[in-house]
Amino acid sequence: MPDAFDPVPEDRFTFGLWTVGNPGADPFGGPVRPRLSPEEIVAGLARAGAWGVNLHDNDLVPFGASAAERDRIVGGFRKALEDHGLVVPMATTNLFSHPVFRDGAFTSSDARVRAFAVRKAMGAIELGVELGARTIVFWGGREGVESDAARDARDALRWMRECLNFLTHWVRDQGWELRFALEAKPNEPRGDIYLATTGHMLHFIETLDHPEMVGVNPEVAHENMPGLSMVHAVAQAMEAGKLFHIDLNAQKIGRYDQDLRFGSEDQKGAFFLVRLLEGTGGYPAYEGPRHFDAHAYRTEDVDGVWDFARGCMRTYKILAARARAFDADPEVQEILAANRVEEDGLGMLLRAYTPEAARRLAAVELDAEALAALGHRYERLDQIAVEYLLGVRG
């Protein structure tokens, strides 16, 4: 039975070809499902209510394909997109599967490998442009080390910067209006990956030649693996105007990168993330695609893959509705308002330093003991959130 949580293209949900197309292989066993063709994936996603599909160059065009073969494959894929009304908002480059990248792509100590990686990225960007993509993601899965004996990380950072600068200049020269989104991950497949978190990326971006072209693509699993808060990573990116894309999935903290169905673990984290993206608690909503970088359990057959895809989208919409109700709740508003004290009074004094502000600050009477005695009612507030989440309130 269709209901209000069934996805529609207006929701702007997207999946990677590599996500619903994942045949269920893991390091301990081979594929368990037939490999769906890109055209089958497009048809399935359209049926499921998605808006778009994203891809790596080699999800569509095999490594080493001739120009003629490439054009034939891309032509067939474009036809499927048109037939099913799907768009390609994001494209990315596989800079991790081929053995040439075993010691990195943009951070390889060998300039020949870096040159090959930049050239491959240029080809992937051209493909993305041809398919209408506006965002180019860079996930440097191999950009790291098992042993820091291999190189000085400062060299790696410099090489990474040079490669990204080269690509931003080239894109501008082509007259394309593209944005790059850098995706962090702390480890796996490398022992340690450079620029381990979204926070690392945000600083690194400011050192580039065209920082305005470059933002981040935070992933739930990648922030949660080391136990960090995805909500805080995304909030920092949003505050900096750098949330160019997002990878939604789920993860148990401390494990390998699980890429589970969105909202299937840590529902509270997912709730506050959706609340942030939808802007129900204040500030404008995130406007980009809601992209799922996840895959179905290895237990599933092809039907299970579509259960997985629908599940990601439905859970997002359910959480968005729960977040809206939570933020509209008068008791929630009252507790939040009670904690925001003197925002327009003393708060103003702190907003901009002047010598006069410093003098006034010195004269303000502040009773630390009285302030320390105040409770904040966050137990009550969080219980309300939990009750919305569990569906017994609102």
Q: Considering the complex, what minimum distance in angstroms separates the CB of residue 169 from ligand GLT?
A: 22
Burial level of 209, CB count in 10 A (0-12/13-18/19+)?
middle
Asked if 143 interacts with ligand GLT (CB under 6 A), we say no
Buried b (16+ CB within 10 A) or exposed e, 317-333: bbbbbbbbebbebeebe
> Which is nearer to ligand GLT, 316 or 326 (by Cβ)?
316
Size of residue set near ligand GLT by CB under 6 A: 10
> Which is nearer to ligand GLT, 88 or 318 (by Cβ)?
88
> Which is nearer to Mn ion, 264 or 280 (by Cβ)?
264
Q: Count of CB atoms within 10 A of residue 159's CB?
A: 22
Residues 292/53, Cβ–Cβ less than 8 Å:
no
Q: Which of 88, 45, 48, 11 is nearest to 286 (CA)?
A: 11
Concerning whether 257 is annotated as a catalytic residue, the answer is no
> Which is nearer to Mn ion, 247 or 329 (by Cβ)?
247
Q: Considering the complex, what minimum distance in angstroms separates the CB of residue 382 from ligand GLT?
A: 30
Asked if 92 interacts with ligand GLT (CB under 6 A), we say yes
> What is the 3-state composition of the chain as percent helix, strand, coil, each rounded to the nearest 5?
50, 10, 40
Q: How far is CA 71 from CA 37, 40, 130, in A?
A: 16, 19, 11
> Which is nearer to Mn ion, 49 or 218 (by Cβ)?
218
* Contact partner at residue 103 from ligand GLT, Mn ion, none, CB < 5 to 8 Å by partner kind: none
Q: Could you tell me which residues come within 8 angstroms of residue 18 by beta carbon, excluding any fewer than 6 positions away?
A: 55, 56, 59, 295
Concerning whether 56 is annotated as a catalytic residue, the answer is yes
Q: What is the CA radius of gyration of the chain?
A: 23
Q: Considering the complex, what minimum distance in angstroms separates the CB of residue 390 from ligand GLT?
A: 30
- Residue ranges in 1-40 that form contacts with ligand GLT under rule CB under 6 A: 18
Give the whole-angstrom CA distance, residue 27 versus residue 229: 27
Q: Considering the complex, what minimum distance in angstroms separates the CB of residue 247 from ligand GLT?
A: 5
Nearest-10 Cα torsion for 256, 262, 263, 266: 20
> Which is nearer to Mn ion, 59 or 259 (by Cβ)?
259
Among 139, 159, 244, 272, binds ligand GLT (CB under 6 A): 139
Asked if 183 interacts with ligand GLT (CB under 6 A), we say yes
306: tokens are 């579509």
Give the whole-angstrom CA distance, residue 267 versus residue 275: 12
Burial level of 350, CB count in 10 A (0-12/13-18/19+)?
exposed
* Contact partner at residue 92 from ligand GLT, Mn ion, none, CB < 5 to 8 Å by partner kind: ligand GLT
- Residue ranges in 44-63 that form contacts with ligand GLT under rule CB under 6 A: 56
The region of 44-52, 156-164, 226-234, 287-295 touching Mn ion under the rule CB under 5 A is 287-295
- Residue ranges in 235-274 that form contacts with ligand GLT under rule CB under 6 A: 247, 257
Of 11, 57, 59, 329, which is the active-site residue? Answer: 59
Q: Considering the complex, what minimum distance in angstroms separates the CB of residue 322 from ligand GLT?
A: 27
Give the whole-angstrom CA distance, residue 15 versus residue 248: 10
- Residue ranges in 224-283 that form contacts with Mn ion under rule CB under 5 A: 247, 257, 259
Q: Count of CB atoms within 10 A of residue 228's CB?
A: 17
> Which residues contact Mn ion by CB under 5 A?
219, 221, 247, 257, 259, 293
**What residues are labeled active site?**
56, 59
> Which residues contact ligand GLT by CB under 6 A?
18, 56, 92, 137, 139, 183, 219, 247, 257, 293
